[in-house]
Amino acid sequence: MTHSQPYGLKAYTGCLLGLAVGDALGTSVEFQAPHSFSPLTDMIGGGFFELTAGQWTDDTSMALCLAESLITKQAFDPVDQMERYLLWYQQGHLSSTDKCFDIGNTVLNALKTFEKTREPYCGLTDIQAAGNGSLMRLAPVPLFYAYNPLNAIQYAANSSQTTHATRTAVDACRFFAGLLIGALQGESKTTLLSTRYCPLADYWHTYPLAPEIDAIACGSYKQKIPPPPSVVKHWSEIENNRYIRGTGYVVNSLEAALWAFYHTETYTDGVLKAVNLGDDADTTGAIYGQLAGAFYGETAIRPDWLAKLAHRKRITDYATQLATLAWQRQYPS
């Protein structure tokens, strides 16, 4: 019996390309406070790292390293993943500029520990290390395990633990893996953003999420608003639980990405909403781009942005190979 691939290839390519496009858009305003810049409407490059339009940062580099490992090993191999991250850090492997010009402290600490110990699960468990560095690169894992949601969620946790082992970061990846699987399966936005959505029935009741991630799973972002200028100026003095912020804290960045997805109906509108929050804009864009790219598909991403995107063919090729491997794992010949 032959099987046609039920999960559309354009969802796969949309997921990885969506990640890279969001990253490339957001780098223009990365590290800038909300309201301190003219709102982005196009892919223009520049920013802190002075990139050309279409070049992307560590988010996409690490995602491609993860994808390359899954494709090459045809399995989840955390040592191989860390070797590739190290190759990126030391030699610029899979960088848009052939150099590692942007790396988070939590990732850097993990890579240095791995160099010494060869132990792949060396992410810090301290709450101060609850950054978004594992969430920003996650997409290849659920793409590879798309036909087995249980494995997708479990390996999403493992992929975080290589560099980010605090519970909030791990559970952000677990929850987001479920959302990506649902998007690949063609679920509606209403379903995806319903309370505690998971492609596995009652999974979060059996394996509960950290309270901060559970609040997001219950829709905390739906009623929040971006901070007005008056709030940004006095941020440290104001209760900020009602505001959306795209910071490097994994809870904030996941919430911001879902807020942008919830409040828009196209990839373009949502990714611009995400990156225009400023702060860690490239990663907010990359997280949003994974989900929206899988949901809307590659054809929903502006062609002029795709034309500018650095290493577009490699990104598309990796997504296609992940789709093929996922299908072959489900229907071995």
Distance CA 158, CA 82 (A): 12
Say how many CA atoms lie within 13 Å of 219 toward its Cβ.
12
Distance CA 107, CA 126 (A): 13
Please report, for residues 178, 243, 257, 331, the alpha-carbon distance to residue 154 in angstroms, rounded to integers and kept in the order given.
10, 31, 22, 21
Which has the closest alpha carbon to 69: 278, 318, 326, 330? 318
Distance CA 20, CA 26 (A): 10
- Please check if 280 is assigned to a binding site: yes
Residue by residue, DSSP assigns 239-273 as: --TTB----SBHHHHHHHHHHHHHT-SSHHHHHHH
Distance CA 94, CA 112 (A): 19
Distance CA 27, CA 45 (A): 7
User: SS3 string of 43-77?
Assistant: CCCECCCCECCCCCCHHHHHHHHHHHHHHHHCCCC
137: Cβ–Cβ under 8 A, 6 or more apart, which residues?
59, 62, 63, 65, 66, 159
106: Cβ–Cβ under 8 A, 6 or more apart, which residues?
123, 124, 129, 131, 133, 163, 164
- Please check if 23 is assigned to a binding site: no
Distance CA 208, CA 253 (A): 20
- Please check if 58 is assigned to a binding site: yes
Which has the closest alpha carbon to 57: 127, 107, 112, 113? 107
Structure tokens at 326: 């996922």
- Please check if 126 is assigned to a binding site: no
Q: Tell me the binding residues for Mg(2+).
A: 57-59, 280, 282-283
Q: Tell me the binding residues.
A: 57-59, 280, 282-283
